[in-house]
Amino acid sequence: MKYQVRSPLASRFLGTTGRTVAYVVMGLFAAMTIYPILWLLLNSFKSTPDFRLDKIGLPPKWFPVNYAGAWTVGEFGKFIPNSLLYTAAGTLGVLFFAIIAGFAFAKIRSRATPVLYGSFVMGILLSIQSVMVPLFIEVNQLDLLLGALFQSLGIMKATSFHLFYNTRLGMILIYIGSGLPIAIYLSTEYIRGIPGALVEAARIDGASFFAIFRSVILPLTAPIATTIAILQVPAIWNEFALINIIISKNELKSLPLGIMRFDGTRMTDYGKIFAALVVGMMPMLAFYVVFRKQITKGVAGGALKG
Amino acid sequence: MELALRRRAEEQRAYWLFVSPAVILYALVLAFPIVVSILLSLSNYNGGLMFGGKPWSIVGLQQYGKLIHDPQFWLAFRNNIYIVLISAFGQVPLGFVFAYLIYRKIVKGGEFWQAILYAPNIISVVVLGLLWKMIVNSNGLLEDVLNRLYAHGFLGSLNHVFANGFVMSDDLVRQLIKIADPGALATFSDPFTDLKDFLAGYTPDQLSVLKSDLTNLLARRWSPEFMARPGVAMLPILFVFLWCWTGLYLIMFLANMQKIDKEIIEAARIDGAGEGQVLSRIVLPSLSGVIANAVILCIAGSLNSFTLIWAMTGGGPMNVTEVLSIYMYRTAVVSVNYPLSNAIAMSIVAFSLVLIALTKLVEKRWGGRE
């Protein structure tokens, strides 16, 4: 039962118009999401000549061969495993380092905390893309520098040393480093909420911080670990800008780089492009369908004030 | 006493052991590149071994001097500003309005709207960019749909003109000229004579062929030339930015609105407060901190615009849709000018620091009203 304001007629009129406008605008936004995805799906089953004849209708004959073609051209068989590795290792790395650091920031007194923690929080706002060129130069130089060291020791030639540049390890470390700011912010704030008495009691019993971390803190961090993982997985899986400049070796490329191959000269073989885009979209859509509630919660939590 | 000292030492050891992996990685990925970048932007180093290779030296601020007089830098900067503006004044307010509509149940089906409007955030930006490119580019979906609509409309007028079948007359030609698109007519040197000659080639029983040929010839056609026209090439990109990330702010705002005590709002309604008063006296004040935060996050996020634009236009046509990060990438990878590229990198960092400081200032002055 709603209570009416002074002029019921005027307010009801405004309400109806407002409501209609709201539905139209939101409907437009929704349509711009739903229709292009359906359009993409339908056209991925059309042969290129059929697409040229009719861009919006149903496929006259279903043409699943597009997928086989796209799979070969995009080398998805090679890039999807790479993407899985980067995402899994990157996410686990972020989780591990963020939670141990968050424990230290939240529960161990140190004068270094304001500076260190503050710089992580600051990092949330700095765009990692803005340093992709110096980062590229840095990983390249690190290898050359270490290589020169090994050469002077007579172990190997300087140029054949690869630890960070164009390696899986280098890429994973970069993903961990760039994921840390938001993850450390979330884990620190969360662990701060765990009663200090739990830690104090264990300390009085003579437990070391490692033991406290393992037996007191770690079991309680499952919710925030889920949130961090759920934010990291799509971020790493979909990442393009950094891996595009850091990785040039074909065997190490990830799915987004494979999808990008369908831009440019191949932009005329529409059937394959649509199939490639569907392949690029599906894993994260499935992830979204399964984890929507947690994703929504994590995103909302990431915006909270610290 | 000794025990306390030993405990203090253990505390410090544990602290640094727990913190240092994260600090080292973070420094390697963000802090160190910034230092390297400042150094390189002041130098003449351009590839090769940095230590022990071709000698290079610090040459001063000349790269920054170059940037100030570089029209492409300012063009990219302006495009960045556009994206910041569409984010701060498009995504955030719209996200707030959507969240409010759902929160107050002014529109029904909140779960559905949340799920759909957030969905673009989860899809790979590369996919989104290429998808929208295929929609707005020439031969794309938008062109196809609009031209179908134009053709359909024109066919309606044609049916009207040919209501009594095809009988050749000067009046018929004049009527056709009247309904034809001026742009299409402009391709004829003398529309009246040319059309008359054209019509003479058809017999009355070929009416349906004639109609479709006339539609091709005279109906209005739309071509997505904005992807090629410098002045408006940014429009589709800005539109996709708005569409893609509004859902993110919807989610943020809605989650925080749901934390407001429902009874306060109910009480206000019973006391006769209108929807506008609920919004301005209860919801807005309790969300002011979150709004300020969202603006800061969205400004930071709008500087991560590399991938979407790279996929949609590649910075083209003729580099008019470049943002600073794409210009930086092109300077490093295509023109291989490391000093200039690093100067651009540092200008992006400076730009984001200024913007963040600005929003913090605004937040301090006007935010946090409770």
Where do the CATH 1.10.3720.10 domains begin and end in chain B? Answer: 71-139+233-366
Per-residue pLDDT tens over the stretch B17-30: 999 999 999 999 98
Per-residue pLDDT tens over the stretch A192-213: 998 888 888 888 888 888 888 8
pLDDT of residue A1: 40
Position of tokens 């580099």? B319
Residue B299 pLDDT more than 60? yes
pLDDT of residue A169: 92
**Integer Cα distance of A157 and A163 in angstroms:** 14
How many angstroms separate the Cα of B266 from the Cα of each of A1, A4, B254, B260? 11, 13, 18, 11
Give the residue from B14, B20, B1 showing the smallest Cα distance to A107.
B14
Q: Which residues of B touch A79 (CB under 8 A)?
A: none
Residue A175 pLDDT more than 70? yes
For chain B, how are helix, strand and coil distributed in percent, rounded to 5? 75, 0, 25
CB–CB contact A120 B328 (8 Å): no
pLDDT of residue A305: 39
Q: Which two tokens stand for residue B365?
A: 């002055």
Per-residue pLDDT tens over the stretch B41-97: 898 887 777 776 677 878 878 889 888 899 999 999 999 999 999 999 999 999 999
Question: Which of A178, A277, A300 is facing B252, going by the closest CB pair?
Answer: A300
pLDDT of residue A99: 95
What is the rounded average pLDDT for all residues in chain B? 85
Question: Which of B14, B37, B130 is facing A108, going by the closest CB pair?
Answer: B14
Question: Taking the domains of chain A in order of start, what are their residue ranges?
Answer: 75-260
Question: Which of B97, B123, B294 is facing A284, going by the closest CB pair?
Answer: B123
Instruction: Determine the distance in angstroms separating the CA of A127 from the nearest CA of chain B, rounded to an integer.
Output: 6
CA-nearest residue of chain A to B273?
A5
Cβ-Cβ contacts under 8 Å for A187 (sequence gap 6 or more): A98, A99, A101, A102, A103, A221, A224, A225, A228
Question: Which of A11, A180, A208 is facing B26, going by the closest CB pair?
Answer: A180
CB–CB contact A144 B145 (8 Å): no
pLDDT of residue A290: 92
Instruction: Determine the distance in angstroms separating the CA of A62 from the nearest CA of chain B, rounded to an integer.
Output: 20
Per-residue pLDDT tens over the stretch B124-177: 999 999 999 888 887 788 888 888 888 888 888 888 877 777 777 888 888 888
Q: Which residues of A touch B134 (CB under 8 A)?
A: 270, 273
Number of H helices and number of E strands within chain A? 13, 0
Question: Which of A23, A245, A297 is facing B329, going by the closest CB pair?
Answer: A245
Q: Which residues of B touch A127 (CB under 8 A)?
A: 300, 303-304, 325, 348, 352
pLDDT of residue A3: 45
Per-residue pLDDT tens over the stretch B300-343: 888 888 999 999 888 878 888 899 999 999 999 888 888 999 99
Q: Which residues of A touch B298 (CB under 8 A)?
A: none
Of A129-133, A146-150, B91-95, the range with the highest mean pLDDT is B91-95
Question: Which of A40, A125, A148 is facing B352, going by the closest CB pair?
Answer: A125
Cβ-Cβ contacts under 8 Å for A256 (sequence gap 6 or more): A83, A238, A239, A240, A243, A280, B124, B126, B307
pLDDT of residue A267: 65
**b or e along B144-172 (b: 16 or more beta carbons within 10 Å of the residue's beta carbon)?**
eeeeeebbeebeebbeebbeeebeeeeeb
Residue B370 pLDDT more than 50? no
Residue A237 pLDDT more than 90? yes
Instruction: Determine the distance in angstroms separating the CA of B195 from the nearest CA of chain A, rounded to an integer.
Output: 28
CB–CB contact A129 B303 (8 Å): yes
Question: Which of B252, B290, B342 is facing A299, going by the closest CB pair?
Answer: B252
Q: Which residues of A touch B141 (CB under 8 A)?
A: 36, 39, 55-56
pLDDT of residue A4: 43
CB–CB contact B107 A26 (8 Å): yes
**Integer Cα distance of A283 and A288 in angstroms:** 9
Least confident of A21-30, A105-114, A284-293, A297-306: A297-306
Identify whether the C-beta of residue A252 lies closer than 8 Å to the C-beta of residue A168. Answer: yes
Q: How sure is the predictor about A302, in pLDDT bands with cuts at 50, 70 and 90?
A: low
**Integer Cα distance of B292 and A303 in angstroms:** 10
Q: Which residues of A touch B21 (CB under 8 A)?
A: 97, 100-101
Instruction: Determine the distance in angstroms separating the CA of B352 from the nearest CA of chain A, rounded to an integer.
Output: 7
The residue-averaged pLDDT of A251-265 equals 88
**Domain covering A75-260 assigned CATH 3.40.50.300 in the classification:** no
Residue A105 pLDDT more than 70? yes
What is the rounded average pLDDT for all residues in chain A? 86
Count A/B contacts: CB-CB distance under 8 Å: 286
In CATH terms, the superfamily for domain B71-139+233-366 is MetI-like (1.10.3720.10)
Q: Which residues of A touch B127 (CB under 8 A)?
A: 259, 277, 280-281
Q: Which residues of A touch B308 (CB under 8 A)?
A: none
